[in-house]
Structure 1
Amino acid sequence: MRVVDSGQDDVRWRAVVDRLPMPDQVFVYAVTTTRVYCRPGCPSRRPNRANVVYFDRPEEARAAGFRACLRCRPDEPADTGVARCVERARRRLDTDEAEPTLSELAAEAGLSPGHFQRLFKAWVGVSPKGYARAVRATRLRTALEEGATVTEAIYGAGYGGPARAHGEAGAALGMSPSAYRKGGAGEVIDYTMGDCVLGRVLVAATPRGLCAVFLGDDDAALYDSLRARFPRADVRPDGDSARAVLPTVQTLAAEPGRPFDGPLDVRGTAFQLKVWDALRRIPPGETRTYGTIAGDIGQPTAARAVARACADNPVAMVVPCHRVLRGDGCPGGYRWGTARKLALLEAEQDSQDQG
């Protein structure tokens, strides 16, 4: 049904002018000179208002003789056009040798820089700049692990020089690039072990924060897991940093719905860090599927990669990978054993029921 000029018409025209993607397909607009209809967030050139008519549904526009825009694809689910713009920008950040600027990415999407940045962050979880920083850190980490020299890895990853790499990548690697290349040589890690309701727990910390929470039944196996993760670090038993956080972790095992507010020093790829951040946003007592998490981070086809990132989570309970289930509702795998996963979920649900 065509909408005549009214207050509602003014609101819709503003949405067209500002290219505001709508979370729901509340209307489409058609241009009489081109005979094309679009969704309000379309990045195409802004039409002349005198040539614009509105329809409540795409099928009404088609019935009136208009055809769907090939850029914004108004016949697809409302979020698809936004997802396509964000995915195109993400691919550029992943692959371009020279990091594209925010203005370049926004212009390609047909949006203002501020609006594009808000959309990108809403879909990916970080700003384009933050995502690019994680990409560089991943490139650096991969190059160092493959045997490149520190200098080769720094420039190959896209850093302008060693100062920027040490300042930016240090937080992602948890140590300097040179120390990371040596397998953590020179890095000091305190660890300690204790009992909890789920068995034995190993807690490890660097000067930056908590870096490992492992669950198990055998102290030797827990220690071997720590050494495998930090093969050349200076691992020290019963250090102050680890002993200080052990009681908090023991309480967390019994009450997994509690938040952990201490500093973290978790290290992973850009993808893993995105997944782990998404896991920390799942409310206690609720669950998600691997596919849901993949969609939340803007990569809906990456459910298997999400499952692998959950399995690589180094801080049990702090990053609550136990809250992620298979698509059929079954618990799925858990690095520390399915029985522990079920116990954590049950404890959270009991706490929610009592609250």
Structure 2
Amino acid sequence: MTDKIKIDDAMAWNAMLKRDRAFDGKFVTGVMSTGIYCRPSCAARHPARKNVTFFVNGQAAQKFGLRACKRCLPDDVARDEAAIIKALKYIDAENNIRLEDIAQKVGYAPHHFQRLFKKFMGVSPAAYARALKSGRAMEHLQNAQKISEAIYDAGYESASRFYDAMKGRLGMAPNIWKNGGEGTEIYWANVQTSLGNMLVAASAKGVCRLSFNEGEEELRAYFPKAMLSNGGDAFHSLLQNVIKKVEQPKINIDIPLDVKGTAFQEAVWQELQKIPLGETRSYAEIAAAIGRPNAVRATGSANGANNVAVLIPCHRVVRSDGSLGGYAYGLQIKQKLLDKESDNLLL
């Protein structure tokens, strides 16, 4: 039985039809009529279902006399994943390293590793390193006695480099973020929706909090030193767009966000926003999609750290068995959100 696929055949077949890269390395597709085995994401023409058998890995497929596809190179997946994991550890431990250094460390040519890293992580090694460094800075800012200490502890060579890196990313200046939004004005409102009472709060940059069954007291806990204000024409227009997006998910409205997290959290949030309307993903699938298949629990924590419900659709993440799992605002609201999105697909 060790040669049989460990996931449901129907799920494996569906992943193959979608050419879902998140399943590469989880199993291989054996095409019995041609005698080859492939990655689930192989770009070759799909075989007939009757000719397909799923195996846990290439070695299991080889026992049945199959050979590796020369187009998708399924046996390279494990090597690629190991290289990415090694590179992530190297980037995590070092500052200001070059692509050439990382590629040499893992044994790949720089141009090839650049493409490989972006395929696994969704960003280039340089972009990942910048996000990691800024994420460290945000963590240090919340605990350091001095802003300068946080900047240097995060790995920046100077304050100017830090502020240049943060341009366009921080809705609040670093010292304001550290001090709970001190000196920043945040507009907010409670509105009634089909899902219940909804709180929407926004800075000058975008929505920084969307939650259900919360009010001013909970908002102040997130931004204890900010100036909380009701209304304003710009906020009223933004609020109306948020309500439309919640009530009619199919409507394409660009809503600016002001959210911050670690590099890992932001990778998870970006992946959540890729989940199509009316579909769900498991925590394991999200973890695999961002190139961290062993970080399922951390993925769940990042999912729970999302401050803008619905707009970053953490409700579309379920358990591997298909059950709803948890939700900060109750499973009833989570199910209503999923039902609403499914209904919108029929409009």
Scaled to the shorter chain, the TM-score interval is 0.7 to 0.9
> Larger deviation: 283-292 or 171-180?
171-180
Cα distance between partner residues in 2 of 1:163 and 1:280: 32
Cα distance between partner residues in 1 of 2:76 and 2:103: 19
2:93 counterpart residue number? 95
User: Contact 1:290 / 1:326 at 8 angstroms: preserved in 2?
Assistant: yes
1:345 counterpart residue number? 338
1:252 counterpart residue number? 245
Q: Percent identity?
A: 38
Q: Deviations over 1:201-245 (max 9, x none)?
A: 1211111122121122xxxx3222221111211221113343111
Cα distance between partner residues in 2 of 1:106 and 1:269: 24
1:142 counterpart residue number? 139
Q: Which amino acid aligns with 1:84?
A: A
Match of 1:325 among 311, 318, 329: 318
Does 1:263 pair with 2:256? yes
Cα distance between partner residues in 2 of 1:337 and 1:313: 15
1:242 counterpart residue number? 235
Does 1:209 pair with 2:206? yes
CA gap of 1:107–1:341, structure 2 versus 1, over 3 A, is same
Cα distance between partner residues in 2 of 1:183 and 1:60: 56
Cα distance between partner residues in 2 of 1:241 and 1:202: 17
- Offset of residue 111 of structure 1: 2.6
Match of 1:313 among 290, 298, 306: 306
- Offset of residue 341 of structure 1: 0.6
Q: Which amino acid aligns with 1:164?
A: R
Cα distance between partner residues in 1 of 2:309 and 2:252: 13
- Offset of residue 110 of structure 1: 2.8
CA gap of 1:277–1:203, structure 2 versus 1, over 3 A, is same
1:129 counterpart residue number? 126
Please state whether the residue corresponding to 2:215 is helix, strand or coil. helix
Please state whether the residue corresponding to 2:323 is helix, strand or coil. coil
1:105 counterpart residue number? 102
User: Contact 2:250 / 2:277 at 8 angstroms: preserved in 1?
Assistant: yes
User: Alignment length, in residue pairs?
Assistant: 288
Cα distance between partner residues in 2 of 1:294 and 1:241: 37
- Offset of residue 58 of structure 1: 6.5
Cα distance between partner residues in 1 of 2:61 and 2:314: 45
Q: Which amino acid aligns with 1:82?
A: D
1:14 counterpart residue number? none
2:81 counterpart residue number? 83
Q: Deviations over 1:110-152 (max 9, x none)?
A: 3332221121111112111111111111221222222331111
Please state whether the residue corresponding to 2:86 is helix, strand or coil. helix
User: Contact 1:141 / 1:173 at 8 angstroms: preserved in 2?
Assistant: no
Cα distance between partner residues in 1 of 2:60 and 2:83: 24
After the TM superposition, which residues 34-113 of structure 1 pair with which residues of structure 2 at under 5 Å, given as runs? Answer: 78-96=76-94, 98-113=95-110
1:273 counterpart residue number? 266
Does 1:297 pair with 2:295? no
Q: Which runs of 5+ in 1 are unaligned?
A: 1-22, 27-56, 63-74
Does 1:118 pair with 2:115? yes
Q: Deviations over 1:256-286 (max 9, x none)?
A: 3444412211111211111110000000111
2:171 counterpart residue number? 174
CA gap of 1:235–1:295, structure 2 versus 1, over 3 A, is same
- Offset of residue 76 of structure 1: 8.7
CA gap of 1:232–1:59, structure 2 versus 1, over 3 A, is closer
User: Contact 2:171 / 2:204 at 8 angstroms: preserved in 1?
Assistant: no
Q: Which amino acid aligns with 1:81?
A: R
Match of 1:158 among 155, 160, 177: 155
- Offset of residue 299 of structure 1: 1.1
User: Given the two structures, how large is their TM-score scaled by the length of structure 1?
Assistant: 0.74
Does 1:191 pair with 2:188? yes
Cα distance between partner residues in 1 of 2:212 and 2:61: 59
